[in-house]
Amino acid sequence: MRRRFGTAGLDLLDTDPSESVTLSQAVQSSTEEGARPDLDGEAGVLFGAMTGSVVGLRYYTGVVNKREMVSLVREPHNPYDRNAVMVANVYGNQVGHIKKELAAPMAYIMDNNLAKIEGVVPYGKTNKFSMSVTLFFWGEEENRAAVTTKLNHCGFRFDPVKGFKSAKAPGSSLQEMLSKNLVAAVPLTAEQMKNSFDKMFDDLMADKTREMEAADAVFTPLLPHQKQALYWMAARENNDHLPPFWEQKGDLYVNVLTNFGVKQRPERVLGGILADDMGLGKTLTTIALIMSNFHDGRPLLLDKADQKASSSLLKRRRKDPIKTEKAASPKKARTAEKASSSAGGAVLLEDAGFAAALAGGSAKSKKTKSGADSRISTARATLIICPLSVLSNWLDQFEQHVRFGENLSVYLYYGTERCRDHNFLSRQDVVLTTYNVLSADYGNKESSPLHKVSWLRVVLDEGHVVRNPNAQQTKAVLDLSSERRWILSGTPIQNSLKDLWVLMAFLKLKPFDVKEWWNRVIQRPVTQGDRESLKNLQALIKGITLRRTKTSKVAGKSVVELPQKKMFVQRVTLSEEERQEYDLAKTEGQKVIGRYVTEGTVLTNYADVLAILVRLRQICCHPGLLGSYARVSSGDTSAPSDLQERLISKIRLVLSCGSDEECAICLDSLRQPVITYCAHVFCRPCICEVIRSEQERAKCPLCRAHINTKELVEYPGDKETGTSTSGKEKWRSSSKVDALMGRLLQVHGEDPAVKSLVVSQFTRFLTLLETPLRQHGFTFTRLDGSMNQRSRVKAIAEFQDSSPSSPSIMLLSLTAGGVGLNLTAASRVFMMDPSWNPAAEDQCVDRCHRLGQTRDVIITKFIVKNSVEEDMMRIQLNKKELMEKTFGSKSVQDQRQSRIEEIKTMMAL
């Protein structure tokens, strides 16, 4: 049986390992989301705390310190009492049982998932037979009554808040906890989360500036920031420190967060997270690490000159010179194995550990290594797991960066013909596989070859893909056995703090590899805004992560030198005809909105207001953008009788043209837009969160009308009505189109090799632009949100191609593609219309202003004089300033008010 919990055998006091494994597994399984939904992932509220007693201490070996956190585990099959609740320390060693009177209501509460109960031992062990424990009850508000009633029925009562002083685990007195709970738990958005993490990494660049040269076998010269990463990674792998939050106190090693202590030194964490931004060369750095830091800082392969020159000195440490394994394809594998087994034992090496490693660790040895010093490693191979899409990239990069002729054996463990002999695998230098293959193998547990090898190093490429703790692939990854572990990821936090748990578990950062401790000590307190815990999290991440963004600076110098980025605003004057049309629409809009303003119903009619603004913005681009339905907008008169229909037409009005409206709750671009019966558009997750937290009392954040989940109408998607726009009608230009064409011709005249991005929020505008582009003989391609994956990839590849026949222009919708989208072929950007969301514009520019860009990037923003566009620009600037100043912490009321002000300004009201 494999030890998931892993450390049971480490406690010296633990006399019967087999028993403790079972125990550990009980702890483990009780914290896993299993058959019943669990609470510990969700924050919940603290119902209260009380003191209980732990009895039966003399029968168990688990020890606890003063203020140590303990876990409570139900034992429904206990032969003496089916209500039994056992108490275990952080390593899962049993300490005792909860006294039976109290165990009765606790069992009821735990079995019905009414609350999550957590224990802290206030005094540690004061006598041989029993001790007190402070119990904290956490749960959903709706279960509070049930919990209190049950406890009262059994004669128990929560301690009064005021008199409560004892049992203070760090940062967790009842008072503190209750007061924290009064602060509403506002979940961070993905963007806020990303920002706070980028900030977290920022201040720790300074001490990570030492460099290390790669081994000679690495052909490609490393850039300075890559040498820094290499130094740091090698140092992490060779470090001899206690893991974060562990301290030596007397003869004990104590975790200062949980106050748990053991005699056994906790295992070192060799590895971490390389979280550099895309394009900084994580792959190359990792290859350099593999080549340069084999055992004890020595390179994996010694080059020929070195071998000769120092052969006598190095005799005992040098690699097998007759090494012939080179199996890049499964077919070669078998022959390679034969060759190596005949040559394998030929060299005598005195350094047992090194020798064993060179020969390749054979079967996974039972984890007997205990002391940090006495371990003898037999591991040789590095296992790299990556998504299928980058598999070939790894092979290419090994090929490209490792000096030609080196006997590096890289085995691609992929395809039905893959060699499943774990002895063979453990003799490789590198084994490359995918998450799919790994978890497929893991499906037949007994026979998963990758799980039989003791790896020197396991690397999770794009490590953020391992996120769901219940997924087979996660279990497969966590169950690998390795000395050193690395996670490569540009975005270690995809959505929330929750995502980090798997990464901590993979790195075996005790005690966070067990979810209960991660939740209790980090996740819940941090999400509830506890500063102390956030500091702890920062310290934890800081210690194990290296992250540089393309804008990171090291000692005042940019990590990556990017070409310049220059932004120009080109003001466009409307033609007389356009101006007339614009002013007409504006007067009409002023009337409508003016009425709303005097009535105080701007927010109630927000969808209409937006539609009017969109209409004005469209006229600025091209009067032909006004689709037939857009003209119906201003009043409410001609709307269809059916409410559903009317709402759909409204939401379509706001979104169909591809405009980038934002959600009033998250202030970010709309995701999964829905419209309420009161005609306001939000992200579905945002508005659902409001409804969930306010229940029946839920009101629309914009107009305070009652809302509920059933009354949300989805945006049915853009049905391109494909009417007037397709070239049939007589082509008519616009001032802005003319301005663009003038620029494009100029650019082309100066240097035909320069490529441009033409960006708009209105996809219909992009379509319109196709006509003049064709007329002037430009070749172009297009990328917008409506395209499927296949055609996207094709469009990007075409555009990035440098051949003369490749398109020189890409029509790009502002929000198309993720952050990863790489359009470095372009060095000119034309922003056809301003967006409400400045971040969206920055992100868009970053698609070409990124690593790999060789030219200066010139951005031209077209802004129509005396129009909403100018107002939008101004508002954007204010917003940016405000965000920087206040961290976006404006109250909802303020936001509403400033929205109204914005609209009034724009409509000159």
- Positive or negative, the CA dihedral 586, 591, 592, 596 is positive
| Partners of 72 in the β-ladder | 87
What order of strands is seen across the sheet that includes strand 755-760? Answer: 565-572, 857-864, 826-831, 755-760, 809-813, 780-783
* Whole-number Cα distances in Å, 666 to 189, 285, 670, 680, 891: 7, 37, 9, 14, 12
What residues contact 194, with CB distance under 8 A and at least 6 apart? 491, 493
Q: How far is the CB of 158 from DNA (least distance, A)?
A: 21
- The helix or strand, by DSSP H or E, that contains position 82, with its residue range, turns out to be none
- φ, ψ of residue 48 to 5 degrees: the values are 165, -175
Q: How far is the CB of 53 from DNA (least distance, A)?
A: 8
Q: Which residue, 129 or 887, is less far from DNA as judged by CB?
A: 129
Residue 40, both tokens? 């510990």
Query: Is the Cβ–Cβ distance between 482 and 455 less than 8 Å?
Result: yes
* Whole-number Cα distances in Å, 895 to 183, 203, 822, 900, 901: 20, 31, 34, 9, 10
Q: Which residue, 101 or 581, is less far from DNA as judged by CB?
A: 101
For helices 892-906 and 606-621, the axis angle rounded to 10 degrees is 40
841: nearest Cα among 871, 880, 807: 880
Query: Is the Cβ–Cβ distance between 102 and 33 less than 8 Å?
Result: no
Q: Which residue, 100 or 684, is less far from DNA as judged by CB?
A: 100
Q: How far is the CB of 22 from DNA (least distance, A)?
A: 15
Q: Which residue, 81 or 306, is less far from DNA as judged by CB?
A: 81
What order of strands is seen across the sheet that includes strand 673-676? Answer: 681-683, 673-676, 712-714
What residues contact 43, with CB distance under 8 A and at least 6 apart? 138, 185, 524, 527, 528
Q: Which residue, 81 or 479, is less far from DNA as judged by CB?
A: 81
Q: CA 157: distance to chain centroid?
A: 42
Q: Which residue, 56 or 838, is less far from DNA as judged by CB?
A: 56
Q: How far is the CB of 352 from DNA (least distance, A)?
A: 45
Tell me the residue ranges of DSSP E strands in 56-209. Answer: 68-74, 85-88, 94-98, 116-121, 130-139
Number of helices (H) and strands (E) in the chain: give both, helices first: 29, 27
Which residues contact DNA by CB under 7 A?
A: 55-56, 58-59, 78, 80-81, 83-84, 96-101, 103, 127, 129-130
C-beta neighbour count of 76 within 10 angstroms: 12
Q: How far is the CB of 54 from DNA (least distance, A)?
A: 9
Q: How far is the CB of 87 from DNA (least distance, A)?
A: 9
C-beta neighbour count of 345 within 10 angstroms: 9
Q: How far is the CB of 125 from DNA (least distance, A)?
A: 11
Q: Which residue, 99 or 890, is less far from DNA as judged by CB?
A: 99
Q: Which residue, 53 or 771, is less far from DNA as judged by CB?
A: 53
* Whole-number Cα distances in Å, 159 to 52, 163, 178: 11, 8, 12
Q: Which residue, 83 or 292, is less far from DNA as judged by CB?
A: 83
Q: How far is the CB of 60 from DNA (least distance, A)?
A: 7
Q: Which residue, 119 or 360, is less far from DNA as judged by CB?
A: 119
Q: How far is the CB of 107 from DNA (least distance, A)?
A: 9
Q: How far is the CB of 136 from DNA (least distance, A)?
A: 20
Q: Which residue, 80 or 404, is less far from DNA as judged by CB?
A: 80
| Separation between Cα atoms, residue 119 and residue 180, nearest integer Å | 18
Q: Which residue, 59 or 568, is less far from DNA as judged by CB?
A: 59
Q: Which residue, 130 or 472, is less far from DNA as judged by CB?
A: 130
Q: How far is the CB of 68 from DNA (least distance, A)?
A: 19
What residues contact 618, with CB distance under 8 A and at least 6 apart? 625, 626, 630, 657, 762, 765
Q: How far is the CB of 127 from DNA (least distance, A)?
A: 4
| Separation between Cα atoms, residue 769 and residue 762, nearest integer Å | 11
What residues contact 430, with CB distance under 8 A and at least 6 apart? 290, 381, 382, 383, 384, 398, 408, 409, 410, 411
Residue 906, both tokens? 């724009």
Q: How far is the CB of 58 from DNA (least distance, A)?
A: 7
Q: Which residue, 6 or 52, is less far from DNA as judged by CB?
A: 52
Q: Which residue, 98 or 117, is less far from DNA as judged by CB?
A: 98
Q: How far is the CB of 4 from DNA (least distance, A)?
A: 24
Q: Which residue, 98 or 757, is less far from DNA as judged by CB?
A: 98
Query: Is the Cβ–Cβ distance between 90 and 68 less than 8 Å?
Result: yes
Query: Is the Cβ–Cβ distance between 466 and 506 less than 8 Å?
Result: yes
- Give the β-pairing of 809-813 and 755-760: parallel
Q: Which residue, 58 or 692, is less far from DNA as judged by CB?
A: 58
Token pair 């953020």 is found at 464
For 170, counting Cβ atoms within 10 Å of its Cβ (0-12 exposed, 13-18 middle, 19+ buried), the class is middle
Which DSSP category does 242 fall into?
Answer: P
Q: How far is the CB of 99 from DNA (least distance, A)?
A: 4
Q: How far is the CB of 5 from DNA (least distance, A)?
A: 21
Q: Which residue, 100 or 332, is less far from DNA as judged by CB?
A: 100
Q: Which segments of 754-858 does DSSP mark as H helices, in order? A: 763-775, 789-800, 838-846
| Separation between Cα atoms, residue 361 and residue 455, nearest integer Å | 8
Fill in the amino acid letter for 319.
K
